[in-house]
Amino acid sequence: MAEQRLSDFSARLPDGRAVPLAEKAGKVVLIVNTASQCGFTPQYAGLEKLWQDYGGRGFEVMAFPVTSSVVRNPAARRISRSSVR
Which of 1, 4, 15, 38 is the catalytic position? Answer: 38
Domain assignment of residue 45, yes or no: yes
Q: Identify whether 30 is part of a domain.
A: yes
Could you confirm whether 73 is annotated as catalytic? no
Put simply, whether the predicted model's pTM sits higher than 0.75 gets the answer no
From CA 3, how far away is CA 1, in angstroms rounded?
7
Asked whether residue 1 is domain-assigned, the answer is no
Kindly write down the DSSP assignment for every residue of 28-53, as one continuous string. EEEEEEE--TTS--THHHHHHHHHHH
The pLDDT tens digits along the chain (85 residues) read 788 888 899 988 878 889 899 998 888 999 888 766 666 667 788 888 998 999 999 898 888 776 544 445 555 555 445 454 4
| Structural domains counted in the chain | 1
Q: Supply the CATH number for residue 61's domain.
A: 3.40.30.10
Q: Domain residues for 42?
A: 6-83
